[in-house]
Structure 1
Amino acid sequence: MSVKSQVFIPKWYLILLLILVFGCRVKEKNRESITSFKSEKIDLKTSLKAKDFEIDVNGVTTKFFVLTNKNGVEVTFTDYGQRLTSLMVPDKNGKFEDVVLGFKTLKKFITAKEKYFGSIIGRYGNRIADGKFSIDGTRYSLTVNNGNNHLHGGFKGFNNVMWKANQIADNEIEFLRISPDMEEGYPGNLKVRVHYLLTDKNELIIKYFAETDKATIVNLTHHSFFNLAGEGNGTINNHLLMINADSYTPVNKVSIPTGELRAVKGTPFDFTKLKAIGKEINIENNQLFIGKGYDQNFVLRNDLSKSSNKLTLAARVVEPISGRVMEVFTDEPGIQFYSGNFLGGGTIGKSGKPYGYRSAFCLETQHFPNAPNQPNFPSTLLRPGLMYTSTCIYKFDVIH
């Protein structure tokens, strides 16, 4: 006669097991709540609402994310285009204002004439002449979306796609995506990760990482439009700017660098010391005429190659009335300074104010425009087995 063995399980053990299982589920649920709907759990400084950034894009619902630090600085993002949608920082009196341009809804971000407010730019920031370049004797043709040239990754640039978001902590988030082989004409499946950290020193640290399975070119950057007086609060002509560069890359009539590195000394492009952006912006100068103001790449001091991991102070901006200060640090060899020359007042921003002529500036850390076609420029080539890395820090402070 066979006897089935029985195992005695104490009631206390079953109760403990249920508590552990339930606790894990609650923890996971809370984690998802923090990742996806954190903005519903705290009082936001921004006027933006999470529900206005939750829309359907190709069957996927977009989400809204919030980063904060102990000083009350607040940054919000959407996973569509990896856009920074608001940035609340204090002035010298402790008053918080949003210092980046943008809109109240994601739909407006997507449909607006200005396509790049707050977005990541890729695969290649800035312009590539005629949308063509070669790698190892193979000629590639990219989509052209800026006259005959390729700009900011093309029509389906990184600003125009969904990203997988992972909010790691209250002050930390990362975005991930694989750009498929030949997207917009670029070779290789490119695996991209971008990590944002808001520190208690009021630094927004952006770290870019990318890997490829086929030789390709990469040049990633961030495209927020800043006004340190507050978005919509007048021009940036009185902002004081320093750019740590002794030379810049002049452009031809369609804004493609000529290959020359031209000294800034004695020109309107000399920002080696703090100077009002508007001081020389309207003087007669061919380069200013081409860009309708400043829209050139500056060659940062001692950074023609990325052999060093040290970060360079690339730029410093001071808004004298509010006292707000922004510093930009990077390990990139260049920075694009754009003075908002194509803002014309027809765009109404998130606070209901028009974004007028030169009402914002951009400082985009980068390799040089059209580098794949200029052998004397630092290379943007990425091969399989290597990791593309880039760092940009926007640091905020005040002066009294």
Structure 2
Amino acid sequence: MKGIKVSDWGEYKLFSLVNNNGTQVDISELGGLIVNFYTHDNKGERQNIVLGYDTPEQYLLGKCYLGCLVGPWANRIANGRFSIDNVDYQLECNEGSNHLHGASAGIGTKHWNAECIDDATLILTTMVRSGQAGYPCDIEFKVKYHLSEENALSINYQAIPRALTPINMTQHTYFNLGQTEDVLDHHIQIEGNEYLHVDALSIPLFKAPVEDTPFDLRKGVTIRQGLSDANEQLENADGYDHCWCFDSTEMKPVARVYEKNTGIELQVATDQIGMQFYSGNFLNNESGRNSKIYNKHAGLCLETQCYPNQINMANKQDCIYGPNKHYQHNVIYKVLTTKD
């Protein structure tokens, strides 16, 4: 039966969004985590298509951001520095010289307040306080998860800052549509004509056309095939860890992933100008759910967002928010299964 089921999960609660097809998404008030995402494969067998841990403690200690909401700033800010109205700010740097995923202010380890709105909708709220990791003001965060009868998980992100600050939110779920050791044989398609060329620290340098590069995923390739091309960008990141660029801020399809053995397909649509495709390059002997070990490429992330380091780019004003300009972001992860 459809409806949100609530269960204890250590010191936290798990909220299960279940539709009449048997699709189930388990979300925690810890970090807004997507802990489980169950669907059915082409043989009618239940599959969990996301990586995860068994306990809240593992999520709190983990370094890979499995399944969590990310903010106040998803992705990287070079040197942790930015300026607004000629005032310079310094954020905490937690990846060498980069500020990454909010550092110690990260919303992915916070305890969120949860409210079940209806049979398929959960709203989570939390706060980042002024000064945390160097952020200049209090920020209220609100995230709405909704599971439809069409097996589409929609996420609406909102943030209300008390003063001007950069904001960029995303979801850091690692997908594996086949419960395989790696996702290299997953077929991926990304609609972008351009991607952000990055330096050795993964900071964008400029937009580059995808044509005639391993970043041209418009027609789709297996991840293994894409990674087989000799390319300095892939070598620098040890795989895909790049942002694709989109022309529109309207809701549009941006990516599709398919696993042939299970027949499971994941479609992504968003109103954002960017999406980071990360091929799980730095997973290394990570002890995951049911004692399974996650190694390199065990899962992939499709993180819709603005551009990494955009607060230091020409279009910086588009990612600065305040009391009179609230942050909004929508994404839909839709699951389909091709029957045998």
| Normalised-by-shorter TM-score class | over 0.9
Cα distance per residue 1:53-77 (max 9 Å; x no partner): 222xxxxxx2221110111101111
Classify the secondary structure of the residue corresponding to 1:296. strand
CA contact (8 A) 1:340 1:362 kept: yes
Structure 1: give runs of 5+ residues left out of the alignment: 1-33, 41-49, 56-61
Q: Report the Cα offset of residue 168 of structure 1.
A: 1.9
Mean CA deviation greater in 381-390 or 213-222: 381-390
1:328 maps to amino acid: V
Deviation readout 1:288-343 (Å, 9 max, x if unpaired):
0111000000002x22xx3xxx3110100010111000000000000000001111
Corresponding residue for 1:317?
257
Tell me the CA shift for residue 377 of structure 1. 6.1
Q: Could you tell me how far apart the structure 1 residues matched to 2:204 and 2:302 are?
A: 18
Quote the Cα distance in structure 1 between the aligned partners of 2:308 and 2:21: 37
User: Is 2:181 the counterpart of 1:229?
Assistant: no
Instruction: Check if 1:384 corresponds to 2:323.
Output: yes
Mapped to 1, the partners of 2:156 and 2:210 lie a distance apart of 29
Q: Does 1:111 align with 2:61?
A: yes
8 Å CA contact 2:214–2:226 kept in 1: the answer is yes
Question: What does residue 189 of structure 2 align with?
Answer: 242
Q: CA deviation at 1:156?
A: 2.9
**Gaps in structure 2 of 5+ consecutive residues:** none
Of 100, 114, 121, 2:50 maps to 100
- Paired residues for 1:116-155 under 5 Å: 116-155=65-104
Q: Match for 1:261 among 207, 210, 218? A: 207
Query: Is 1:160 aligned to 2:99, yes or no?
Result: no
Normalised by the length of structure 2, the TM-score is: 0.96
In 1, Cα distance between equivalents of 2:125 and 2:63: 26
Secondary structure at the aligned position of 2:198 is classed as: coil
What letter corresponds to residue 194 of structure 1 in structure 2? V
Specify the alignment match of 1:273 in structure 2. 219
2:107 & 2:203 partners in 1: Cα distance?
A: 21
Query: What is the alpha-carbon distance in structure 1 between the residues aligned to residue 317 and residue 235 of structure 2?
Result: 27
Does the Cα contact within 8 Å between 1:298 and 1:334 map onto a contact in 2? Answer: yes
Per the alignment, residue 328 of structure 1 pairs with 268
Match of 2:198 in 1: 251
Q: CA deviation at 1:39?
A: 4.3
Aligned counterpart, 1:186: 135
For 1:25, the equivalent position in structure 2 comes to: none
Q: 2:22: which partner in 1? A: 72
Q: In the alignment, what sits opposite 1:47?
A: none
What is the aligned-residue identity percentage? Answer: 34
Q: Which has the larger radius of gyration?
A: 1
Contact 1:54 1:64 in 2 (8 A): no
* 1:221 partner letter: T
CA contact (8 A) 2:104 2:132 kept: no
Number of aligned residue pairs: give it: 337
Q: How far has the Cα of 1:349 moved from its partner?
A: 1.9
CA apart distance, 1:376: 4.2
Q: CA deviation at 1:189?
A: 1.6
In the alignment, is the contact (CA less than 8 A) between 1:368 and 1:377 conserved in 2? Answer: no
- For 2:31, the equivalent position in structure 1 comes to 81
CA contact (8 A) 2:94 2:100 kept: yes
Cα distance in 1, alignment partners of residues 49 and 287 from structure 2? 15
Runs of 4 or more off by more than 3 Å in structure 1?
none
C-alpha separation in 2, matches of 1:124 and 1:180? 14
Measure, in 2, the Cα distance between the counterparts of 1:101 and 1:386.
35
- Say which structure is richer in strand: 2
